[in-house]
Amino acid sequence: MLIGQTEIRALIPHAGDMCLLAGVTRWDATHISCIAQSHRNIDNPLARDGKVGALCGIEFAAQAMAVHGGLTGLVGQRPRAGLLVSVRDVAAKVEYLSDYSADLQIEAEQLMAEQSSVCYSFTLHAGEMELLRGRATVVLDAGRVAS
């Protein structure tokens, strides 16, 4: 694993159990691959009645996107805050992520990047099984825009 959860926590605003990713396995200027095991935890903060729904995978993907933004930003620069504003073409192939014992593999590809927003496509797999796919748009420095 290239980057572990300690380093991930420094790149995203999520703390404690809300940091869903376990690590980054590879990344470059436009792609990131992450793994997660937290979908199996019955005390996962996204779980209802001990199960993590497939659409919660959007949050796993959003965290991967945030980590990618932090890794590709300027060295020494504080990661830019982002607000997930749109998800499109979301296709859940299963009902629950927690039904799968394999680690989740989260893939995100940056499709577009502008000064104030980024757009990614994402997929989640457990082994060879595709669980979820879609696209997401994030507005950067959203707190500054709203002020």
Please report the pLDDT score of residue 73 as a whole number: 77
CA distance 60 to 122: 10
Q: What is the pLDDT of residues 121-146, one digit of tens each?
A: 999 999 999 999 999 999 987 665 44
Q: What is the pTM of this model?
A: 0.90
What CATH number corresponds to the domain at position 14? 3.10.129.10
44-101 per-position pLDDT tens digit: 999 999 999 999 999 999 999 999 998 987 444 555 677 889 999 999 999 999 999 9
- Is residue 1's pLDDT more than 90? no
Please give the pLDDT value at position 105: 99
Per residue in 15-32, pLDDT (tens digit) is 888 999 999 999 999 999
112/75: higher pLDDT: 112
**Strand (E) positions, 39-93?**
82-92
Domain that holds residue 133: 3-146
pLDDT the model gives residue 145: 47
Count of C-beta atoms within a 10 Å radius of residue 27? 18
Number of domains in the chain: 1
Q: Give residue 69's region: left, alpha or beta (phi > 0; psi -120 to 50).
A: alpha
Radius of gyration of the chain (CA): 14
